[in-house]
Each structure stands twice: as C-alpha cells, then as structure tokens.
Amino acid sequence: MKAILRSRLTPLVALALIMALVPMIAPTSFHLRVAALVWIFSLAALGLTILMGYAGQVSLGHAGFLGIGAYAVAIGPARLGLDPLLCLLLGAVLSGLIAWLVGRPILKLKGYYLAIATLGFGVIVALILHSETELTGGPDGMSVSRITLFGWRVTGALNWYWVSAGALLIGALIALNIAASPTGRALRALHDSEVAAAGAGIDVSAKKLAAFVVAAVYAAVAGGLLAAMNGLITPEAASFSHSVELVAMVIIGGLGSVFGTVLGAAFLVVLPQTLTAFQEYEQAVLGLLIMVFMIFLPQGIVPSLRAMIEERLP
C-alpha cells in the first residue's frame, strides 16, 4: 500500500481514470467546459509546482506568462495571419525566452524580495496588455480564432475536454519525470539549502533559472489553450488576482504534489461556479475557505491526507 502511495505512476493513473470517468457522469456540456477549465488551470499551476514545490522559489506574477501565451494565440492569427497552433508553440517559446531574460537577474533575490520582483513583472505584463489597445484590443480584450489540429477544427465542449485533458496528462508526465531526474533532485536540494546544494556541486542559479523557464512554458501553453477554448481573451488573464489564484491552487492542493495541484485547481475553478447561486457571498466564502484551508492544512490537502493514511498503515 505504501509503495502504491509513493509510486511515481500513481497520480498519473489516478488522473487518467478520473479524466475517463468525468465525461460519463457530466450531465451537460457546461460541466464538461468547467472540467476542461480545471485541466487547463492544473497545467498552469503544475509549472508553479515545479518552481515552488520542487525549487522553493515563489512567483507572484505567474499569470503574466499565462497572459503572454494567451495573447500569442490571439494576436498571431489576427494580426500576422499565422496558424493558431504554431502560435501556441511560439507563445510557449516566447514565454520561456522572457522568463530566461527576466529570471537571470531576479532569481538572485530571495524570499519576499523575489515575491515583489515577480509581482512587479506580472503587473507590468498586465498593464502592457491593457494599454496597447491597437495590438491587444485593450481592456475589452480580443477574440481568438479556432485552433486546427492536423486539419481537425477543435470546437465543442467534449473536444476541448479531451484536448485539455491530453495536454495536462503530458504536462503531468513531464513534471513527474523532472521530479525523478537529477535536475529534480538538484532542485529539491537547493530548496532545502542553497549553500549545501552549491557545496555538493549543483549550479544553483542555472537550476533555478531552468525551473523558472519550465514554469513559464507551462503557464504559456495553458494560457494559449484557455484563449483558444474561450474564443476570447482579456487582460484579466494576466492580472495579479489570477497570479494569486495560481499560487493558491499549488498550496491548497499540497506544495510539490502533482495530484495535489490538480485537486487545488479543481477546488478553485469549481468553487466559484457553485457559489454563483449565492452571488453576493461568493468572494467572502472564497476568502474564508482559502484562510481555513491554509490554517488547518498548511501542508495542503494531499500531503496531509497521505500522512494520515500512512500513519494508520502498518
């Protein structure tokens, strides 16, 4: 039992099973769309799991990278006449490149200083998307053309469900492989002590930068998928509150746990949908729940549960 709990494949298999089950029980296409949103946000949050959970570096501006990916898919086809799928890839590359350029200097900062630097980056990206009206459509955003996957136009809730689910499975597989690789071990080592890691011969700044770039690429791909699925994108995607949501997903589920990240994303995507019935109270309940979870399960849902189960097993 313990072996199953600790196996690298367990979260992947569990995730695939859930993905296969949801369409059977989802009553309407609205529910499928919400599920697809969960997979997309899980993908964005997975990148942060690598950065925060493995490497221990915080980013309060990660929605900025999501915005870059999203607007690449929106701007490329509309303004330059490029293929949307190509733009998804270009957006990921661009996002990674920007992360590399920005990350080199700011990842030298530590703790709260890194937090404000990444936050500043996110705010600047959101402002640019907001203000360059000719390019981005300004505060009203812009519409996004459909993605064509090898001649197949991706439309409809069910198709998007499978595309997003597939993207998340690939992302989760890569994340789990990174965790088990020498780089993953190096990241965890520098998470515990940068000095000790450097002493053991790990190039600390190079590894941190790698984690930052990977996280940015995850967010950009998720942003691109989000834009293409919704057919519309606004600067709200890159906002500070969005960055906060991404961090909350990672922490509520469990810092460093892939399955936990998906759980955290599901929680924060589904909750507002169920709360729309209470409209006025939505924000109050959301804030209260984040506080309660963080106070009583500071390790996050999955690690806390796992510890409880392992304790009871012989």
Partner 1 sequence: MSEFLQLAFSGLTVGAIYALIALGFTLIYNASDVINFAQGDFVMIGGMGTVFLMAAGLALPVAALIAVVAAVLVGLLLHRLAIEPARGASPVTLIMITIGASIFIKGVSQIIFDKQFHSLPAFSGDTPIPVGGATILPQSLWVMGTALALVVALYLFLEHTLVGKAVLATAANRLAAKLVGINVALVLALAFGLSAAMGALAGVVATPITLTRYDIGTLFTLKGFAAAMLGGMGNPVGAVVGGLLIGLIETFTAGYLSSTYKDAVAFLMILVVLLFMPRGLFGSRTVERV
How many residues bind partner 1 (CB under 8 A)? The answer is 46
Long-range residue pairs from 85-94, CB within 8 A, at least 24 positions apart, any chain: 85/147, 85/148, 85/149, 87/224, 88/147, 88/221, 88/224, 88/225, 88/228, 91/220, 91/221, 91/223, 91/224, 92/217, 92/220, 92/221, 92/224, 94/68, 94/220
Contact between 127 and partner 1 (CB under 8 A)?
yes
Residue type, 297: L
Contact between 124 and partner 1 (CB under 8 A)?
yes
Query: CB-wise, 220 or 268, nearer to partner 1?
Result: 268
Contact between 113 and partner 1 (CB under 8 A)?
yes
Contact between 101 and partner 1 (CB under 8 A)?
no
Using the rule CB under 8 A, give the single segment among 15-23, 117-125, 160-168, 223-231 that binds partner 1: 117-125
Contact between 221 and partner 1 (CB under 8 A)?
no
Alpha-carbon span 218 to 47, nearest angstrom: 5
Using the rule CB under 8 A, give the single segment among 66-74, 159-167, 168-176, 276-284 that binds partner 1: 276-284
Q: Which of 46, 106, 179, 301 binds partner 1 (CB under 8 A)?
A: 106
Contact between 298 and partner 1 (CB under 8 A)?
yes
Min. distance of Cβ 101 from partner 1 in angstroms? 12
**Whether 186 contacts 202, CB under 8 Å:** yes
Per DSSP, helices labelled H in the chain are: 2-6, 9-25, 29-48, 63-75, 84-106, 111-131, 133-136, 157-180, 182-192, 194-199, 204-230, 240-253, 258-275, 282-296, 301-312
What's the full length of the chain, in residues? 314
Q: Which of 35, 44, 119, 209 binds partner 1 (CB under 8 A)?
A: 119
Using the rule CB under 8 A, give the single segment among 30-38, 202-210, 228-236, 241-249 that binds partner 1: 241-249
Which residues sit at the interface with partner 1, rule CB under 8 A?
52, 58, 105-106, 108-113, 115-117, 119-121, 123-124, 127-128, 131, 193, 195-196, 240-241, 244, 247-248, 251, 255, 280-291, 294-295, 298
